[in-house]
Amino acid sequence: MTSWDVHRPPPAEGRTALVTGGNAGIGYFVAEQLAGAGATVVLGCRSADRAAAAMTAIRSRHPSAALSHLPLDLGDLPSLQESADRLDVRLDAVVLNAGMLFDGPDPDERTFAVNHLGHFALTARLAPHLSRNARVVTTGSFVAKSADFAAQEPDGKKVYARSKLAQMLFGFELARRGVFSVVNHPGGALDSLTPSRPPVHTRPTGFRLPLLQGKDAGAWPAVRCVLDPFVQSGQLWGPRLFGLRGRPHLEPVRGILADTALAARVWDLSVELTGVDPAAALLRRQ
């Protein structure tokens, strides 16, 4: 494995990446770090105002950053074709980062729809815009390893964990189906440990957990998955200290994450629910 300096990733001029949820949290820092390396970054987000705020914050650090906003609501499946049609750039990577934990009625359906089905369908819709060797980088979570699809509890955190497991299984299955696909997770990344980026984020005072890290560091694995030429399809990257914090390192894919039969079942269900097949769409493009 080669060394990797999270503060000095390789130059990325001439490369273009779409980051879903690039307006806030970890996605903001993925966008900031990719733009800082010279990549053109498209922020896929729901709110034009929040996208503009993120672009202002990034440009305050990288004045010549090449940035744009793609309107994107992952919870609105029919709108994803329209979002993809608005893209006027060729993508070398898409970072499937946006995520939520829905606490209202039907948390399972809503959370699964936004986190997993939205990204599943978006990947298919983006096919004509992804370059031949483009990387699909899926952001999962360490909580996915203990998720259980058989359980039906409407508990928000368990619902969230199942949606993250579905996303990670998707990322690995996409790689098995011949597309360059890498999975990453940010460890534990807290706003309270995240440096301020006005007007996007102001660091609150108070609560600290030394085992965890800020969202700036939470972005490192995804950035490495986009830019490191030695990263390979099918790999899993996460923070090196207990999978919770630190520099990105390669993790083994095992346990439920390596369950290929389960991944195939989730894939088939996702095709049924979205009406699209990202692997077929991406392979048609090649």
Ligand X SMILES: NC(=O)c1ccc[n+]([C@@H]2O[C@H](COP(=O)([O-])OP(=O)(O)OC[C@H]3O[C@@H](n4cnc5c(N)ncnc54)[C@H](OP(=O)(O)O)[C@@H]3O)[C@@H](O)[C@H]2O)c1
Q: Verify binding: residue 183, ligand X, rule CB under 6 A.
A: no
Q: Which residue in 6, 38, 46, 271 binds ligand X (CB under 6 A)?
A: 46
Which amino acid, 56?
T
Torsion of CA 269, 274, 280, 282, to 10 degrees: -130
Q: Verify binding: residue 79, ligand X, rule CB under 6 A.
A: no
Instruction: Give the nearest residue (CB) to ligand X.
Output: 25
Candidates 28, 29, 160, 180; catalytic one: 160
Q: Which residue in 69, 116, 158, 185 binds ligand X (CB under 6 A)?
A: 185
Q: Which residue in 107, 186, 238, 278 binds ligand X (CB under 6 A)?
A: 186
Q: Which of 86, 132 has the CB closer to ligand X?
A: 86
Q: Which of 249, 285 has the CB closer to ligand X?
A: 249
Report strand pairing: 16-20 vs 40-45: parallel
Q: How far is the CB of 211 from ligand X (least distance, A)?
A: 12
Q: How far is the CB of 200 from ligand X (least distance, A)?
A: 10
Which amino acid, 176?
R
Q: Which of 193, 276 has the CB closer to ligand X?
A: 193
**Residue 28 a catalytic site member:** no
Q: Residue 54, Cβ neighbours under 10 Å: how many?
A: 28
**What residues are annotated to the active site?**
160
Binding region for ligand X (CB under 6 A)? 20-21, 23-27, 45-47, 50, 72-75, 97-100, 114, 139, 141, 164, 185-186, 188-189, 215, 218
